[in-house]
Amino acid sequence: MSENSRFEAHRCPNGHLSYPGHPRCPECAEPQKGTVDLSERTATVITWTTSTATPPGVRQPNHIAIVEFDVDGESVRAVGQLTSDGVEIGDEVRPVYAEELRDPDAGIREQTSQEWDGYRFEPVE
């Protein structure tokens, strides 16, 4: 897992969470002070869709969801790929690390610029 692939929400002094992180809180403009690891938490599917017109190297079809984490009563949303199309709104999912979210050999850019690792969301059984 690379240093850039951590799955963290950022917290401001007022307790607001944002993902991805920003230098200042999008809600109150206070500087961000800390992070919360989301990789071991579960989330709820808010909505999802399937994209059939994907960029080079991204799997087809590409199932994508907006999910919401509850962190000590504060919610934070994230967008990401699903591991399958077998989800419904309201389902519980967990983040799972993926070494490749897209094929680095596909596309017209330098191969090293196409290395994408990160997290997908998997239904909780």
- pLDDT tens-digit map of 67-108: 999 998 999 999 999 998 889 999 999 999 988 777 666 666
| pLDDT (tens digit per residue) in 8-64 | 999 999 999 999 988 999 999 999 999 999 999 999 999 999 988 887 777 788 899
pTM for the complete prediction? 0.83
Structural contact between residues 30 and 14, judged by C-beta atoms closer than 8 angstroms: yes
Please list, in sequence order, all residues whose beta carbon lies within 8 angstroms of the beta carbon of residue 41, skipping any fewer than 6 positions away.
69, 71, 94, 95
Q: What is the largest CA-CA distance in the chain?
A: 44
Q: Enumerate residues 6+ apart whose C-beta is below 8 A from 56.
A: 102, 103, 106, 107, 108
Place of tokens 């199309």: 85
Residue 122 has pLDDT above 90, yes or no: yes
CB 58 within 8 A of CB 47: no
